[in-house]
């Protein structure tokens, strides 16, 4: 989908007539909506693609810190997304995440922030998922599918595929590549789902697939796939500024390690970040990188050995390394995560447990004039 088509899709998500517009002075072609400007006698309350009409008055300026659950937080207003599911809408006369603070966002609904003024992020807006830790808001969208689950096998199971979102995740590695037990052939690898077009509503990414299990023996369990990054949509009448030490993190989690003779889990895809504003100033970091795949498991001198887990998605352009490094192990390492222009890697095949694939990149889309020298990974769509 081209950039013009994407912009039309986003603007078309607004069910009200567009607001009156004024230039911000920095660009003669740049315009911004004026909240409350007259429109045939009716108030105009579109903020970018977000329509807070019917939501009542905006909250006073907010400073957001700490844990924020999109299902339970009292500052959430239920917002029906055109074409999508329900979201948590935070509607206010300005929003700030202060320096050194973290807003850790979880829950089943995506977060939408609509500001009649500006949004300033000097701390961290964290909608990421972490292996063994938090699951970002709206992570693991229900629409996600894979092309093939990894095969179980007595001689070594296959690795799970990385989650695919707007970019395709890496396939898992084949297990039991030497057909050592059971005469059942090699364990076929998990195959990643196909990527999807950019959605016109906020939604999370896709979870990595679980690794295949050992059949018999010690009944090793395949590594669990990593959770995807979550979803946030920010719309402001004024500017959105991400300070030098500020950031938005929508990264996916690493896949878990396979137990004895089982496959590693696939990494979770990156999540969803959309920003609409009269000016977008990025001095800090925005990241929707994916997690990497977990290493498969093996048996050394008769002893059951688990692999190493994949890494959680990173800030910046360096991908998370795949799980690897068990001394003496022949198990397949996991594929790298996505970052920058690096795509999620394929898990390595093995005569024992195969490695999990790295997750696919998430989505970052910026609507409006942009300045600043901060890091944005993957590159904005």
For 345-363, write each residue's pLDDT tens digit.
Answer: 999 999 999 999 999 999 9
- Contact between residue 297 and residue 262 where contact means Cβ atoms under 8 Å apart: yes
Burial class (CB in 10 A: 0-12, 13-18, 19+), 88: buried
The predicted pLDDT at position 180 comes to 78
Residues 6+ apart with CB under 8 A from 185: 179
- Contact between residue 266 and residue 191 where contact means Cβ atoms under 8 Å apart: no
Could you tell me the CA-to-CA distances from 206 to 267, 356, 377 in Å, in that order? 9, 15, 17
The predicted pLDDT at position 182 comes to 59
The predicted pLDDT at position 111 comes to 98
DSSP state of 5: H
The predicted pLDDT at position 45 comes to 72
Q: Which residues of 359-378 are buried (b: 16+ CB within 10 A; e: fewer)?
A: bbbbbbbbbbbbebebbbbb
Query: What is the chain's percent helix, strand, coil content, to nearest 5?
Result: 5, 25, 70
For the stretch 165-194, pLDDT in tens is: 999 999 999 999 988 765 568 999 999 999
Q: Which of 39-48, 51-60, 93-102, 305-314 has the lowest mean pLDDT?
A: 39-48
The predicted pLDDT at position 7 comes to 40
Q: How far apart, in whole angstroms, are the C-alpha atoms of residue 212 and residue 173?
A: 10
pLDDT at residue 46 is higher than 80: yes
DSSP string for residues in 102-168: EEEEESSSPEEEEESS-EEESSEEE----TTS--BTT-S-TT---SBPPPPBSS-PPPPPPP-SSSP
The predicted pLDDT at position 5 comes to 37
The predicted pLDDT at position 13 comes to 37
The predicted pLDDT at position 27 comes to 39
Nearest to 354 by CA among 252, 223, 253: 223
3-state SS record for 53-69: CCCCCCECCEECCEEEE
Residues 6+ apart with CB under 8 A from 247: 121, 124, 125, 284, 285, 286, 287, 315
Upper half-sphere CA count for residue 291 (Cβ side, 13 Å)? 44
For the stretch 247-294, pLDDT in tens is: 999 999 999 999 999 999 999 999 999 999 999 999 999 999 999 999
Q: For the chain, what is the mean pLDDT?
A: 89
For the stretch 99-114, pLDDT in tens is: 999 999 999 999 999 9
In angstroms, what is the C-alpha Rg of the chain? 22
The predicted pLDDT at position 116 comes to 95
Q: How far apart, in whole angstroms, are the C-alpha atoms of residue 139 and residue 354?
A: 26
Mean pLDDT of all residues in 316-330: 95
23: pLDDT confidence band, cut at 50, 70 and 90? Answer: very low
37: pLDDT confidence band, cut at 50, 70 and 90? Answer: very low
Beta bridge partners of 231: 272
26: pLDDT confidence band, cut at 50, 70 and 90? Answer: very low
Pure H helices in the chain = 3-12
Residue 3 DSSP SS3: helix
DSSP state of 214: B
The predicted pLDDT at position 290 comes to 98
Beta bridge partners of 121: 97, 242
Nearest to 290 by CA among 169, 136, 124: 169
Q: Which of 21-25, 92-96, 99-103, 150-154 has the lowest mean pLDDT?
A: 21-25
The predicted pLDDT at position 89 comes to 98
Q: How far apart, in whole angstroms, are the C-alpha atoms of residue 287 and residue 268?
A: 14
Could you tell me the CA-to-CA distances from 275 to 13, 115, 163, 262 in Å, in that order? 14, 12, 24, 41
pTM of the model: 0.89
pLDDT at residue 120 is higher than 50: yes
pLDDT at residue 227 is higher than 80: yes
Mean pLDDT of all residues in 13-31: 33
Could you tell me the CA-to-CA distances from 14 to 38, 49, 83, 87, 94 in Å, in that order? 17, 5, 11, 15, 21
Rounded to 5 degrees, φ, ψ at 189 are -75, 155
Residue % of the chain over a pLDDT of 90: 84
């Amino acid at each position: 989908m081209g950039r013009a088509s994407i912009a039309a899709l986003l603007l078309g998500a607004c069910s009200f007539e567009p607001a009156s517009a004024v230039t911000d002075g920095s660009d003669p072609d740049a315009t911004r909506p004026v909240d409350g400007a007259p429109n045939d006698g009716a108030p105009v309350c579109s903020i970018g693609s977000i329509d807070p009409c019917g939501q009542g008055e905006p909250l006073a300026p907010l400073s957001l810190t700490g844990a924020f659950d999109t299902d339970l937080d009292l500052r959430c207003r239920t917002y029906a997304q055109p074409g999508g599911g329900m979201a948590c809408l935070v509607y206010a006369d300005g929003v700030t995440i202060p320096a050194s603070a973290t807003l850790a966002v979880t829950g089943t609904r995506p977060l939408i922030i609509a500001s009649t003024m500006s949004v300033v992020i000097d701390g961290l807006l964290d909608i990421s998922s972490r292996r063994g830790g938090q699951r970002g808001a709206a992570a693991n969208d229900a629409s996600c599918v894979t092309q093939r689950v990894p095969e179980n096998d007595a001689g070594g199971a296959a690795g799970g595929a990385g989650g695919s979102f707007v970019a395709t995740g890496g396939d898992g590695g084949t297990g039991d590549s030497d057909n050592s037990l059971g005469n059942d052939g090699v364990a076929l690898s998990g195959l990643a789902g196909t990527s999807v077009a950019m959605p016109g509503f906020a939604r999370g990414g896709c979870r990595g697939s679980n690794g295949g299990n050992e059949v018999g023996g010690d009944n090793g369990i395949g590594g669990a796939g990593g959770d995807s990054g979550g979803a946030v949509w920010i719309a402001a009448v004024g500017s959105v500024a991400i300070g030098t030490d500020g950031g938005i993190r929508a990264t996916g989690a690493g896949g878990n390690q396979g137990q004895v003779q089982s496959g590693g889990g696939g990494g979770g895809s990156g999540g969803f970040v959309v920003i609409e504003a009269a000016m977008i100033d990025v001095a800090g970091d925005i990241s929707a990188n994916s997690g990497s795949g977990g290493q498969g498991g093996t048996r050394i001198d008769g002893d059951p050995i688990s692999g190493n887990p994949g890494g959680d998605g990173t800030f910046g352009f360096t991908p998370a390394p795949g799980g690897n490094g068990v001394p003496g192990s022949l198990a397949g390492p996991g594929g790298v995560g996505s970052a920058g222009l690096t795509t999620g890697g394929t898990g390595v095949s093995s005569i024992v447990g195969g490695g999990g694939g790295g997750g696919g990149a998430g989505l970052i889309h910026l609507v409006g004039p942009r300045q600043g020298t901060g890091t944005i990974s993957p590159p904005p769509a």
